[in-house]
Amino acid sequence: TTAATLEHFTVNFTITNLPYYSDLEKPESARFKSTKRVMNTLLDRLMKGSSIGPDFHGCESTAFR
């Protein structure tokens, strides 16, 4: 058997009920860190509950705009 390799991919989407604040542009801001933590948790739950769940190894929010 061949070992599986991890594939990285990018997903962009719009959240219509999350107000935008300029400090979301700054990864060191408390608002960015909090939003990132919440988004990563919610996306992890969503993906792990999907058909790719057994192969899913996590997500990382990199920017908000």
pTM of the model: 0.79
Alpha-carbon distances, residue 31 vs 13, 15, 23, 34, 41 (angstroms): 19, 16, 7, 5, 15
Range 37-57 burial, b when 16+ CB lie within 10 A, else e: eebeeebeeebeeeeeeeeee
Distance, CA of 53 to CA of 5 (rounded, Å): 16
Where along the chain do its domains lie? 22-55
pLDDT tens digit at each of 65 positions of the chain: 666 777 888 888 888 898 999 999 999 999 999 999 999 999 999 999 999 888 888 888 999 98
Alpha-carbon distances, residue 50 vs 26, 44, 53 (angstroms): 31, 10, 5
